[in-house]
A and B are shown apart, each in its own frame.
Chain A
Amino acid sequence: MNGELKVALVGNPNTGKSTLFNVLTGLNQKTGNFPGVTVDKKTGFCKLPDSRSAKIIDLPGTYSLYPKSQDESIVFQVLADKTNPVHPDLVIFIADASNLKRNLLLYTQVADLKIPVIIALNMMDLADKGGIEISINELSSKLGVPVVPVSARRQQGIDALKQAVAFAGRIPLQQDTIEVEALAPGLISHIGRELQIDQPYTALQFAHQHETLKFLSQEQSDRIEELEQQYSFHSSKAQASETIARYNYINDVLFDTVKVKPKNGSETLSNRIDKVLTHKVGGFLIFFAILFVIFQAIFAWSEYPMGMIENLFVWLSDMFRSTLPAGVLTDLLVDGVLAGLSGVLVFIPQIAILFAFISILEDTGYMARVTFMMDKIMRKVGLNGKSVVPIIGGLACAVPSIMSTRNIENWKDRMITIMVTPLVSCSARLPIYTLLISLVVPDEKVWGFINMQGLALMAMYVLSIVSAIVVAWIMKGIIRSRERGYFIMELPVYRMPRWNTVLLNMYEKVKTFVLEAGKIIVAISIVLWVMASYGPGNRFEQIEAQYRSPQYTQKYSPEELDRMVSSARLENSYAGVLGKTIEPVIKPLGYDWKIGISLITSFAAREVFVGTMATIYSVEGDDSHMDTVREKMRSARDPKTGLPVFTTAVAFSLMIFYAFAMQCMSTVAVVYRETKSWKWPTIQVAYMTAMAYFAALLVYQLLK
């Protein structure tokens, strides 16, 4: 639809922009990428009072149009490039009323691009509490644009905002803010003439940012560079005088529109919370207590729903077995697809719980405090306080976490963060850990309340974070730095988490996990099933002939024979041959060829390990009764010795292997995309695989 109204949401971080976006669009939204870059683009639709519908685009939060990260640079690129498919007809500028001065800096920049603007004044309640009195009408007439007070959290003022959007014309009404031409006399009009830019401020921004603007051609960018030389343009100086000029204008505007009553001296609640949460000792204790609760919850709360999902799949398999005609297709469906899927889908509850907690920590503002507390230590090991967010996010998934490192301004800090984030135990390892832990760690309580299995899981997580820190520290000495780092970050006021945001986040993450992982798993399960069910040459016929000979039929019962046949078939299948080939390499780690098959298939994604195990044991096992993967693995015996395959040593060796190994195609791809070279992902795969192999070797040899 071409004639539809496009509205962009622009504002500082922590102003409630995402909340407003959710309120305006409801569940009617989708996430994609901005063309050419990997920045999340959230768009949605909003019904206007006049029954038109507007397309809402959520732009990344930023403090100014001068970007400090790739995400932030999107804002100017969308607003300045009229050919961009999401170039808006109207901007809703969302401002935090309790911090109007700093918020208006970005407003004045956006206003000077001369796109029609409406200001949504959020957090009026906070401003009230802080004794700030804003006369809306005065402010609106001074700036020349509609100002609508809203409360995105309480969904107040939303109708008035929609009304204002519906009434907005296509002509920018805002007052001029500063004398833009004076910031780079001659240069601005020259660029404007040559590139046919009608707005002087857009031309000035081109002068500042031409090297990174994707929509400028090389010739255009070179020409701007030439002109800058000609007019001896100094970017930092011009930016400093622009910022001062803008604040002078803002002070004029605010002088008689905002009254601040003197505070009554009582400390704000946020400050009192900070005293506890960022306390020298208490702060860290609380942080570890929170992590402890999260891991206990992952086990305790997920038990019931996981049991239900397991039973559902057992029931489904039984049903397909009994209703569908026996044959190859049914085998493929039950032993291949269903077995592979159930192995992974069963972990949805645990993943959902983990994502919910991470989302709550971010939403309340606590994550920013963790960043603040950790900066000094993180810097010691070559990271940055802001590395804490990707590293904690890495607990969920390395892919979005590596993308979130874009907020780290320093190149070296960012590279090291990218290199170590995949070491952090992501949710894809969770299925492997929980499966193996439940096999070898007793489900008992120590001191009456600490669950042993939960403790073992937490140990795996602590190990992953420690290893990330150690590797970072080593890399700090290896990677050469090019620039100095800095750390200037807003500490947002503490808030109650917005439960819809948490739920929405949880839903989206689980959906992505199921779809992305599900695709790979179904594909790999099918390939694996074929490889495990067929073998080279006529080996299968030979097996049948061998075991059906009187020599065997007299000695063993039919059931025993069936089991021996299936296991011999698996051993001689394509998958078996492959597993056998790598067996000599993995034997010292305690793995047999069946685990070898899983190691190969799970190179694409770690969670495939569980699915592969399920498929292998389903193909091998008899079809008369359906077990869960766990039961199948528990009863697995070494055919030669008759001892259990999954001993404590093997299980821990496997867990350590998966803790360190880079078994994830998506992460390799995202590292390539973010670092723009194959050098970094190659180094990463190499060092992680080596680390995994030797650590697993050590563990197995010690525990054996």
Chain B
Amino acid sequence: MKLSQLEPGQAGVIKEFTDLEMSVKLMEMGCLPGEPIVVERIAPFGDPMAITVSGYQLSLRKREASTIILHR
């Protein structure tokens, strides 16, 4: 399942990416395969979302989140 499909409070572990270019940017920000992710909140207008990953909070748009595939 994709990260963009999670609701606030739900968690998952990163499995892989569907977009090579985006994956490089995400990995630099600590989103790595095997890393657990928790969705903290979603912005007032439904996008972007804030997640906790490798010990800090990151915000990203749903479109970017949809390139992250999770184990569940």
Q: Which residues of A contact B (CB under 8 A)?
A: 63-64, 66, 68, 98-99, 101-102, 105, 130, 132, 236-237, 239-240, 243-244, 247, 270-271, 274-275, 278-280, 283-284, 368, 371-373, 375-377, 385, 486-491, 493
Q: How far, in Å, is A396 (CB) from chain B's closest CB? A: 25
Measured CB to CB, the closest approach of chain B to A160, in angstroms, equals: 25
Residue of A nearest to B58 (CB): A490
Residue of B nearest to A102 (CB): B30
Contacts A275-B41, A278-B44, A284-B44 hold; do A490 and B61 have CB atoms under 8 A apart? no
A385 proximity list for chain B (CB < 8 A): 48
Q: Pull 24 A–B residue pairs with CB atoms less than 8 Å apart, ordered by A.
A: A63-B29, A98-B55, A98-B56, A101-B54, A102-B28, A102-B56, A236-B24, A239-B24, A247-B27, A278-B50, A279-B44, A368-B59, A372-B50, A372-B59, A373-B43, A375-B48, A486-B25, A487-B61, A488-B25, A488-B26, A488-B29, A488-B64, A490-B29, A491-B56
Asked if B22 CB lies within 8 Å of chain A CBs, one says yes
Cβ of A410 to closest chain B Cβ, rounded Å? 12
Contact A278–B24 (Cβ < 8 Å)? no
Q: Are A105 and B28 in contact (CB under 8 A)?
A: yes
Q: Is the CB of A243 within 8 A of B43?
A: no
Task: Take A271-B40, A274-B41, A490-B56 as given contacts and tell me if A240 and B23 are in contact as well, using a CB distance cutoff of 8 Å.
Answer: yes
CA distance A557 to B61 in the complex (A): 76
Which residues from chain A contact B46 at a C-beta distance below 8 Å? 376
Q: Could you give, for residues 39-72 of chain B, a 1 whenever the CB lies within 8 Å of some chain A CB and a 0 otherwise?
A: 0110111111010001111111101100000000
* A376–B47 CA distance with the chains assembled, in angstroms: 6
| Also in contact, A99 and B55, with CB within 8 A (given A66-B28, A284-B44, A488-B25) | yes
Q: Are B43 and A64 in contact (CB under 8 A)?
A: no
B37 at the binding interface (Cβ < 8 Å) = no
A243 to B43, CA, bound (A): 30
Nearest residue (CB) in B for A64 is B28
**Is B50 a contact of A491 with CB atoms below 8 Å?**
yes
Residue of B at shortest CB range from A376? B45
9 shortest A-B CB distances, which residue pairs? A376-B45, A102-B30, A491-B57, A280-B44, A243-B27, A64-B28, A99-B55, A99-B56, A488-B60
Q: Which of B21, B33, B61 has the most CB of A within 10 A?
A: B61
CB nearest neighbor in B for A100 = B55
Contacts of B43 in A (CB 8 A): 278, 372-373, 375-376
Inside 8 A of B45's CB, which chain A residues have their CB? Answer: 376-377
Supply 4 further A-B pairs (C-beta < 8 A) apart from A243-B28, A490-B58: A271-B40, A375-B47, A487-B59, A487-B60
CA of A375 to CA of B59, assembled, Å: 10
Contact of A486 among B20, B56, B61 (CB under 8 A): B61
Taking a contact as CB atoms under 8 Å apart, the answer to whether A63 and B28 are in contact is yes
Chain A residues with Cβ below 8 Å from B26 are 488
B32 interface hit (Cβ, 8 Å): yes
User: Complex: how many Å from CA A253 to CA B50?
Assistant: 29
Closest residue of chain A to B57 (Cβ to Cβ) is A491
- For A409, the closest partner residue in chain B by CB is B25
- Residues on A with beta carbons closer than 8 Å to the beta carbon of B55: 98-99, 101-102, 130, 132
With known contacts A274-B40, A284-B44, A372-B43, A244–B57 Cβ distance under 8 A = no
**Which residue on B lies nearest to A240, using beta carbons?**
B24
Partner of B44, one of A63, A101, A102, A373: A373
Q: Report how far A346 CA is from B61 CA in the complex, Å.
A: 45
CA distance in complex: A594, B7 (Å): 63
CB distance from B23 to the nearest CB of A (A): 6
- A99 cross-chain contacts in B, Cβ below 8 A: 30, 54-56
User: A101–B58 contact, CB under 8 A?
Assistant: no
- Let me know if A376 and B28 touch, CB within 8 A: no
Taking a contact as CB atoms under 8 Å apart, the answer to whether A244 and B27 are in contact is: yes
Q: Are B44 and A486 in contact (CB under 8 A)?
A: no
Name the residue on B nearest A279 (C-beta): B44
- List the B side residues contacting A274 at CB < 8 Å: 40-41, 50
Contact A68 B47 (CB under 8 A): no
For residue B40, which residues in chain A have a CB less than 8 angstroms away from its CB? Answer: 271, 274
Give the CA-CA distance A102 to B28 in the complex, in Å: 7
**Minimum CB–CB distance for B6 against chain A, Å:** 17
* Contact partners of B28 in chain A: CB under 8 A: 63-64, 66, 102, 105, 243
| Contacting residues, chain B, for A236 (C-beta < 8 A) | 20-21, 24
Cα(A275)–Cα(B9), bound, Å: 13
Do the beta carbons of B59 and A243 come within 8 Å of each other?
no
Q: Which residue of B lies closest to A275 (CB)?
A: B41
Could you say which of A105, A244, A377, A491 contacts B58, with CB atoms under 8 Å apart? A491
In the complex, A275 Cα to B30 Cα: how many Å?
24
CA distance A488 to B25 in the complex (A): 8
In angstroms, Cα B50 to Cα A283, docked, is 15
**A64 contacts across to B, CB distance below 8 A:** 28
* Residue among B41, B48, B57 making CB contact with A490, cutoff 8 Å: B57
Residues of the A chain whose Cβ atoms lie less than 8 Å from the Cβ of B58: 488-491
Across-interface contacts of A488 in B (CB, < 8 A): 25-26, 29, 58-60, 64
Contact B41 A278 (CB under 8 A): yes
Residues of B within 8 A of A237 (CB): 20
- A618 to B49, alpha carbons, bound, how many Å? 58
**Set of chain B residues within 8 Å of A487, measured between Cβ atoms:** 48, 59-61, 64
| In the bound complex, CA of A384 to CA of B63 (Å) | 14
Cα distance A377–B50 in the bound complex, in angstroms: 17
State the CA gap A488–B58 with chains docked (Å). 7
Taken residue by residue from 1 to 32, chain B's Cβ proximity to chain A (1 for < 8 Å, 0 otherwise) reads as 00000000000000000001111111111101
Q: Closest residue to A281 on the B side, CB-wise? A: B44
A376-B48 contact in complex given A247-B32, A487-B64, C-beta closer than 8 Å: yes
- Least CB separation from B47: chain A residue: A376
Are A372 and B48 in contact, CB atoms less than 8 angstroms apart? yes
Of residues B28, B43, B48, B64, which shows the largest number of chain A Cβ atoms within 10 Å of its Cβ?
A: B28
Contacting residues, chain B, for A372 (C-beta < 8 A): 43, 48, 50, 59
Kindly provide the distance from the CB of B57 to the nearest chain A CB, expressed in whole angstroms.
4
**Complex contacts, B29 vs chain A, CB 8 Å:** 63, 102, 488, 490
- Which residues of A have CB within 8 Å of B50? 274, 278, 372, 491
Within the complex, the shortest CB–CB distance from B38 to chain A, in Å, comes to: 10
Chain A residue at smallest Cβ distance from B50: A491
Residues of A with C-beta under 8 A to B33: 244
Chain B residues, CB < 8 A from A489: 58-60
